[in-house]
A and B are shown apart, each in its own frame.
Chain A
Amino acid sequence: MTDQNELISFAAEEIRVPEQTQAPWRVLVVDDDGEVHQATRYALEGRLLLGRSINLIHAYSAAEAEELLRQMPDIAVVLLDVVMESDDSGLCLIDLIRDQLNYRCLRIILRTGQPGTAPESTLVARYDIHDYMLKTDVSHERLVTSLTTAVRTYQQLANMALMERQLASAVRAVDRCLDLHQPETFAQFYCQQLKSIYQLSPLMAVFWLPGAVESARIVAADESHQAWLGQALSSLSAEADLIEYVQEAMQSGCVNHTDCLLLGSAQHRLLVLLSDDNIADHVLAESWQVFHSLMGVCFKHVC
């Protein structure tokens, strides 16, 4: 047993570096009662949801909430009161979010103080809401649990929506590739697609024939490397590091590098260098696989 009078000795303070790099979840609290905002802020302060912190945004009326929602389309969850300006202003806001703003991924958690005005089953059937809770039931655990499942669902829905967009873009890109016949035009188009669909930043693309590394030439380049466009790789004597890196990547087939992409057939090869360090940060595995293999097929068709 420890002595009752023993002084507590504190552990040493560490300098905690925030490990988290991902953007915080944006959670909009809509309620006309200031105390609700304070209590919510207190409950969620410093809390992480699926490893990401929470960015609370406060709105004191449905109108204010609408304005904030228009400004921030990336809000993940709305904690919504039903009775504000009118008896159903919260429910009207749901319709606005789903039908007018067309935010499908955003999760809505209803918090009401008046169970009588809005029966739970009817509400859940009628409106696309994630959860329904009475204000008197909002314990810390209930709030955190509900928010956690909400952000997870939001994340999944957002990913699915993104993938859907990417796949559609990929299919369109294939369509347009069929008209291309030069390695240069294809490479430029490919870089463009990487940029627009996956927000990657290609630095340049190098084209060569297998077994003839000396034939490698730069067929596409970003704005800062426009001068190199069309030049043979070997002619860039001033960039020894670059040449070495590219040659290494060409030989290894780009397997050990996370900042380059390789398309290739038996006769032709195309290497794209990216400015970003990690492709995985930007792409979703499923859609990226599909896009990459489609582009490979296109490349074969072009050359």
Chain B
Amino acid sequence: MTNPSRLPSWLRWWQSLRLRLLFTLLTVMFGFYIWIEHNVASVLTDVALEHSKSSIHLTSETLNLAITPHTTLTGLRGLDDYFNELLKYDGGGLVYLGLYDEHGVVLAGAGLEFYNTEASHLPLSTQIQRGVVHVRQPILILNDQVGELRYGLSLLAFDQNIKRIHQNNLWVLFLAVLLVVAALLLSFTWVNQRFSRLMKASQALAKGDYQVRAPVEHQDELSLLAQSFNTMADAVATRIHALESSQAKVEQLNAELEARVAERTQALTSALRTLEDTQQHLIQSEKLASLGALVAGISHELNTPVGNALTVVTTLADKHRTFLEIVNAGQLRKSDLEAYVASVQEAERLASRNLRKASDLIHSFKQVAIDQTSYQCREFKLLAMVEEVLMTIKPMMRHSNVTIITDIPARLSLRSFPGPLGQIITNMVANALSHAFDEQSRLAQIRIIAALNDDRDWVHLTIEDNGKGIAPEHLKKVFDPFFTTRLGQGGSGLGLHIVHNLVTGIMGGKIIVESQLQKGTRFIMKLPVNAPQLNHQSGQTLL
């Protein structure tokens, strides 16, 4: 709490309005005083000049008249006494008096020690200032000689008067200054009180008391200020009220908004969780679907050799029946027997070839199915495993003119997860088949290349095609879930996402993709030869 009547610290004392006012007033008063003094001085000088002139004239007349009768030889002697008498008589103001002949010899005189030749040649005003006027008056003395009367007139009395006037003036000035200072202090105190009331009001207003009003006293500028302050306070109160109410509204809105945001956030969070769950489900079902596609493909592949074998065997049965009829009828000819034997031989050849094919298919399917349904870590030869997987995806391949070339060292073996690796290869080949090539593609190739690094602890597995390539804007997104350029055309957008998950997850490896338009795409995987141990919590089984 600051006292309104005291100056705040930032206000320097010389900056105070009161001091400035005081100073200004005093300056003006001193100015006036100096100006009056100057005027008075010049008027007094003029008066002194006139006074001395008239005094000189009067004194000269008087002296002339008084001296003339004494201008005889005898008379001159008596003059000294007369002069002394004159000097003693104070009223005339004479300082000295002397009578000189035409050669400047003193005939009579009194008080001549005060005579100053130099001063008598100075101008009159200067002599007045020095307080003594030196006068040289020609005078007719005996024998019509022209003498000279010299005398000094003292202006001491006049000077004293002048000094008194100046003294009085100084007194007046002193009183005026006192009065002015007193009046100013008084009025300042009074104004100050009113100001401090205004300041108090404004500080109260500033502190938030919008009901405070400045007291309107008297009918002057301060009351006008108080009135305008009150008007301002009214306006401020109105504004503040409006502000407060709108602020309250805003706060209410904010609160509602926050509530709504919280609500939405919760809804979004749960939606996100559902989405994540769904995504996991989808990935899972995509894995199952690829297994389903595998089963469908395998069953189609199996149906053909099994059907062929059936046709051949049933035909053989028919031929055998005919043959038996001939034999039983005793009509067997050598040519019949030869034909029958040839027929049996061919049936055996055809049927066993088809059944071998079916058996191979079942074998590879069994291994792939076991691997893919249980994430089992085992030691396996990469080349054999890739070939088994490629056999299971033959149904996908047979409708395209794409050839798959493998370049894998036969002895390269891994201790890893053949199931997920098989799924990785299946998904990548399927991806290349459905995206990389079109009808016009010539010499379409998918190459699967594997090589160990120098330390023999990592295998670099590259799957590349010479197809259309991936557009740069798509390249970044190929591993994103649900990213597909074939939405609604059978693309789920999960194939490569699953690949990425499997490679970086269970296989403990890395995968990058590089692609050049019209040149092809290359997926490079870096897989550890010994896969990281799967902990049992996350060890999952697909079926």
Contact call B331/A135, Cβ cutoff below 8 A: no
Whether A10 contacts B311 by the Cβ 8 Å rule is no
Q: Nearest CB to that of B307 among chain A residues?
A: A135
**Considering the chains assembled together, what is the distance between the CA atoms of A143 and B307 in angstroms?**
11
Q: From the candidates A14, A35, A141, name the one contacting B308 in the complex (CB within 8 A).
A: A35
- The CA of A132 and the CA of B380, in the complex, are separated in Å by 44
Question: Residues of A with Cβ closer than 8 Å to B?
Answer: 8, 10-14, 32-33, 35-36, 38-40, 42-43, 83-87, 111, 113-114, 116, 134-141, 143-144
The one of B296, B310, B330, B347 in contact with A116, judged by C-beta atoms closer than 8 angstroms, is B296
Give the number of residues in B that approach A within 8 Å (Cβ atoms).
34
Other A-B pairs, 15, CB within 8 Å; known A11-B333, A86-B399: A10-B334, A11-B330, A13-B333, A32-B398, A35-B354, A39-B311, A39-B312, A113-B304, A113-B307, A134-B307, A135-B307, A136-B306, A138-B307, A139-B310, A140-B317
Top 6 nearest A-B pairs (CB, nearest first) are A135-B307, A113-B303, A140-B314, A139-B314, A140-B315, A39-B308
Which B residues from 434 to 467 make CB contacts under 8 A with A? none
Name the CB-closest residue of B to A114. B300
Please name all residues of chain B whose beta carbon is closer than 8 Å to the beta carbon of A84 when the two chains form the complex.
Answer: 399
- What DSSP secondary structure best describes chain B's contact surface? helix
Q: Are A114 and B305 in contact (CB under 8 A)?
A: no
Nearest A residue to B398, CB-CB? A32
Nearest Cβ on chain B to A30's Cβ, whole angstroms: 14
Which residues from chain A contact B299 at a C-beta distance below 8 Å?
114
Docked-complex contact B314 and A141, CB < 8 angstroms: yes
Report B-chain residues with C-beta under 8 Å of the C-beta of A11: 330-333
Within 8 A of A (CB), among B285-308: 296, 299-301, 303-308
Q: Give CA–CA (A8, B334) in the complex, Å.
A: 10
In the complex, which residues 150-202 of chain B have their Cβ closer than 8 Å to any Cβ of chain A?
none
**CB-based nearest A residue for B347:** A42
* Candidates A42, A134, A135, A137; contact of B346 at CB < 8 Å: A42
Minimum CB distance partner of A43 in chain B: B315
- Could you tell me the distance between the alpha carbons of A23 and B334 in the complex, rounded to whole angstroms? 29
A83 to B309, CA, bound (A): 19
Q: Tell me whether B353 is interfacial, beta carbon within 8 Å.
A: yes
Q: What is the CB-to-nearest-CB distance from A22 to chain B, in angstroms, rounded to a whole number?
A: 23
Structural contact, B312 and A42, CB atoms closer than 8 A: yes
Closest to A36 in B: B308
Quick check: B335 and A13 within 8 Å, CB to CB?
A: yes
Complex interface: chain A residues within 8 A of B386 (CB): none
Q: Taking CB as reference atom, which chain B residue is nearest A143?
A: B311
Residues of chain A within 8 A (CB-CB) of B398 are 32
| Given A36-B304, A113-B303, A135-B303, CB of A140 within 8 Å of CB of B333 | no
**B299 shortest CB reach to chain A, Å:** 7
Residues of A within 8 A of B335 (CB): 13
- In the complex, residue of chain A having the shortest beta-carbon distance to the beta carbon of B310: A139
Is residue B257 contacting chain A, with contact meaning CB distance below 8 A? Answer: no
Q: Residue of A at shortest CB range from B357?
A: A35
Q: In the complex, which residue of chain A has the Cβ closest to the Cβ of B329?
A: A11
Closest to A37 in B: B308
Nearest CB on B from A40, distance (A): 7
Task: State A163–B398 Cα separation when bound (angstroms).
Answer: 45
A10 B333 Cβ-Cβ under 8 A: yes
Closest to A16 in B: B335
- The reply on B318 being an interface residue by CB < 8 A is yes
Let me know if B307 and A137 touch, CB within 8 A.
Answer: yes
B243 contacts partner chain A, Cβ-Cβ < 8 Å:
no
Cβ of B347 to closest chain A Cβ, rounded Å? 7
Report if A113-B300 is in contact (Cβ < 8 Å); known contacts: A36-B308, A42-B350, A136-B306: yes
Q: How far is the CA of A84 from the CA of B399 in the complex (A)?
A: 6
A to B CB contacts below 8 Å, 23 in the list: A10-B333, A11-B332, A12-B333, A13-B334, A35-B308, A36-B308, A42-B312, A42-B343, A43-B311, A43-B312, A43-B314, A87-B399, A111-B307, A113-B304, A113-B307, A114-B303, A134-B307, A135-B304, A136-B306, A138-B307, A138-B311, A139-B314, A140-B314
B119 near A: Cβ within 8 Å? no
Least CB distance, A47 to chain B, in whole angstroms: 9
Contact: B307 with A136, CB < 8 Å?
Answer: yes
CB pair A35–B305 under 8 Å, yes or no, is: yes
**What B residues does A114 contact at CB under 8 A?**
296, 299-300, 303
Pairwise interchain contact B337-A10, C-beta atoms closer than 8 A: yes
Q: Which of A36, A43, A116 has the most CB of B within 10 A?
A: A43
| A35 engages B350 (CB within 8 Å) | yes
Cross-chain contact A138 with B310 (CB below 8 angstroms)? yes
Instruction: Flag if B333 contacts A35 (CB, 8 Å).
Output: no
Would you call A42 and B315 a contact (CB within 8 A)? yes
CB contacts (< 8 Å) of A38 on chain B: these are 308, 350
A14 neighbours in B (Cβ, 8 Å): 333
Asked, given contacts A84-B399, A140-B315, whether A10 binds B304 with beta carbons under 8 Å apart, the answer is no
Q: Which residues of B lie under 8 Å from residue A116 when comparing CB positions? A: 296
Cα of A10 to Cα of B399 in the assembled complex, Å: 52
Q: Quote the shortest CB–CB distance from B482 to chain A (angstroms).
A: 25
- On chain B, the residues within 8 Å of A86 by CB distance are 399
Which chain B residue shows the least CB distance to A12? B333
Q: How far is the CA of A251 from the CA of B300 in the complex (A)?
A: 72
CA distance A43 to B350 in the complex (A): 11
Residue in A13, A85, A134, A141 whose CB lies within 8 Å of B303: A134
Q: Which residues of B contact A87 (CB under 8 A)?
A: 399
Verify B332–A10 contact, CB threshold 8 A: yes
Which residues of B are found within 8 Å of A36, using beta-carbon distances? 304, 307-308
Q: For the complex, what is the distance from the CA of A33 to the CA of B311, rounded to whole Å? A: 14
Assess the A40–B296 pair: CB atoms within 8 A.
no
Report B365 CB to chain A, min CB distance, Å: 15
B:313-361 near A, CB below 8 Å = 314-315, 317-318, 330-335, 337, 343, 346-347, 350, 353-354, 357
Which residues of the partner chain B approach A141 to less than 8 Å between Cβ atoms?
314, 318
CA A136 to CA B354, docked complex, whole Å: 12
B residues near A134, Cβ cutoff 8 Å: 303, 307
Give the residue name and chain of the A residue nearest to B346 (CB): A42
Measured between beta carbons, the chain A residues less than 8 angstroms from B333 are 10-14
Closest partner residue, chain B, to A44 (CB atom)? B315
In the bound complex, residues from chain B placing their C-beta under 8 Å from that of A43 are 311-312, 314-315
